[in-house]
Amino acid sequence: MEKTIDEKVQGTTLAVAARKENKRNLFIESYGCAMNFADSEIVASILANEGFNTTQVLEDADLVLVNTCSIRDKAEQTIRKRLTEYNKVKKSRPHLKVGVLGCMAERLKDKLLDEEKIVDMVVGPDAYKDLPNLIKEVDSGRDAVNVILSKDETYGDIAPVRLNTNGVTAFVSITRGCDNMCTFCVVPFTRGRERSRDPQSVLAEINELWKKGFKEITLLGQNVDSYLWYGGGLKKNFENASPMQKATAINFSKLLEMVALAQPKMRIRFSTSNPQDMTLDVIKTMAKYKNICNHIHLPVQSGSNRILKEMNRLHTIEEYFELIDNIRELLPDCAISQDIISGFPTETEEDHAATLKALEYVKYDFGYMYAYSERPGTLAGRKMEDDVPEPTKKRRLSEIIALQREHCQFRTEKHVGKIQEVLIEGTSKKSENEWMGRNSQSTVVVFPKEHYKIGDFVNVKIHDCTSATLKGTALDYSENN
């Protein structure tokens, strides 16, 4: 699930093994990016110590928490619709309390309490440790809000619960917040300034996951390449760090190496990279360690230098192509995926053509493409008119998607005929008799189950494909097994 926003998992409820002593039921539902899903695991862990078991049945809930996304207007509308569903349940369960967590909570703050009468509690992404107090407040009949953003909260000391996963792949957060200030993006306002998590707590979490049988982790952050640990605190304050702190600071390529060495049989992925922060060292580290997967999610957003500038992406398209060329040279088998926004304010047909040209240059393995959605409070929202008509945005988006589809097919076909290591994640959605897993490039592979099981690393001979799925036959366990 490298996707920044994975449509298939939106609204997934988290279920955790019940504790006998816990008497209340928590229904926790997540929307948005992988970081939100990882955060819900932290929240469930905090509330397991506060007397809550998780339930997947809304009608059994005593507390409903919805972890929200603000990245586009549509994401917020989805949540508002969902709140009306909770409201129906509240009619028959008057003691039911409803809390909104995450980016929408942070963006709207106590306005949410006025706008959505059903909401009892509003909790921003840095305030989850305060949940026990906030729940006491709502239990005593008062509304509760904590949307304070933190300089150092990374939840490094909380072991997230993972029990409703496939037991094979897990997310590990390494940074929170973002300092990039892309003009279209709400993240710096909802998730605060960027800070990195103590590498020792990252390693401890990964070692624990390995002991529990997990075989693949994805290091998570809005901008992982910007990771910088110098003893704690905001990245922007690094310049004030002591000479000792500066000399011993750990950047992303170093962290990646530490993780790869700590668990040499575990697959390592990371998401998301930002072109302006990705260094050659990261690519070299990927090339050096076999267990770091050959996939980079590298959002480009636009192929036009003028639009990149308006977006405050701090690179040109030529610099982006140079990075792509370096990746191709050092990691010839590496998959590259993208995020693109169509119809950013002032985008012309010429700018759009430049985006199509960028797609042709890279021929991405896959991508996530969106029509621009103006977000209140962002620089573009305040300073630029949303002037590309909706039908034009949609038409450009569909041209981008159609071209990307051709490239998906082109890249997927390149795997046919090869023998590739696949980590089995579960049963194929299409057939009970087939396993589903991924190769190093993150392409889905399906093959007959035979005697293999979930969590096995298997060498699979690829003999066929659709545009996004490879089909094969297992030859044997891989040496990693």
Residue type for position 339: D
Shortest spacing between CB 399 and ligand SAM, in angstroms: 17
Alpha-carbon distance of 297 to 272, in angstroms, equals 6
What's phi and psi for 36, nearest 5 deg? -65, -40
Of 179, 141, 371, whose CA–CA distance to 274 is shortest?
A: 179
Shortest spacing between CB 183 and ligand SAM, in angstroms: 9
Q: What is the DSSP string of 72-86?
A: SHHHHHHHHHHHHHH
Q: What is the CA radius of gyration of the chain?
A: 22
Which one, 119 or 327, has the nearer CB to ligand SAM? Answer: 327
Which one, 192 or 472, has the nearer CB to ligand SAM? Answer: 192
Does the annotation list 178 as a binding residue?
Answer: yes
Shortest spacing between CB 97 and ligand SAM, in angstroms: 29
Does the annotation list 69 as a binding residue?
Answer: yes
- CA separation, residue 205 to residues 130, 209, 214 (Å): 22, 6, 11
Which one, 47 or 178, has the nearer CB to ligand SAM? Answer: 178
What's phi and psi for 66, nearest 5 deg? -120, 120
What's phi and psi for 429, nearest 5 deg? -65, -25
**449: burial class by Cβ within 10 Å (0-12, 13-18, 19+)?**
middle
The two most distant CA atoms of the chain are separated, in Å, by 64
Which one, 367 or 472, has the nearer CB to ligand SAM? Answer: 367
Which residue number places its CB atom closest to ligand SAM? 339
Shortest spacing between CB 368 and ligand SAM, in angstroms: 7
Alpha-carbon distance of 329 to 54, in angstroms, equals 48
Shortest spacing between CB 369 and ligand SAM, in angstroms: 8
Which one, 223 or 253, has the nearer CB to ligand SAM? Answer: 223
Which one, 271 or 443, has the nearer CB to ligand SAM? Answer: 271
Shortest spacing between CB 158 and ligand SAM, in angstroms: 23
Alpha-carbon distance of 457 to 9, in angstroms, equals 25
Which one, 72 or 269, has the nearer CB to ligand SAM? Answer: 72
What's phi and psi for 243, nearest 5 deg? -55, -40
Alpha-carbon distance of 34 to 22, in angstroms, equals 28
Which one, 172 or 187, has the nearer CB to ligand SAM? Answer: 187
Alpha-carbon distance of 347 to 262, in angstroms, equals 46
> Cα 301–306–310 angle (5° rounding)?
70
Do the Cβ atoms of 31 and 37 come closer than 8 Å? no
Which one, 181 or 261, has the nearer CB to ligand SAM? Answer: 181
Q: Hunting for tokens 């005929």 — which residue is that?
A: 417
Which one, 128 or 370, has the nearer CB to ligand SAM? Answer: 370
Alpha-carbon distance of 208 to 353, in angstroms, equals 48
Q: Hunting for tokens 């046919």 — which residue is that?
A: 416
Does the annotation list 465 as a binding residue?
Answer: no
Does the annotation list 185 as a binding residue?
Answer: yes
Does the annotation list 408 as a binding residue?
Answer: no
Shortest spacing between CB 375 and ligand SAM, in angstroms: 5
Angle of helix 252-262 relative to helix 280-288, nearest 10 degrees, comes to 10
Alpha-carbon distance of 342 to 96, in angstroms, equals 41
Shortest spacing between CB 203 and ligand SAM, in angstroms: 24
Alpha-carbon distance of 166 to 429, in angstroms, equals 14
Q: Can you give the binding site for ligand SAM, defined by CB under 6 A?
A: 4, 33, 71-72, 182, 184-185, 187, 222-223, 272, 274, 299, 301, 339, 341, 370, 372-373, 375
- CA separation, residue 414 to residues 369, 407, 408, 443 (Å): 23, 11, 10, 11
SS3 330: helix
Binding residues: 33, 69, 103, 178, 182, 185
Positions at the binding site for [4Fe-4S] cluster: 33, 69, 103, 178, 182, 185
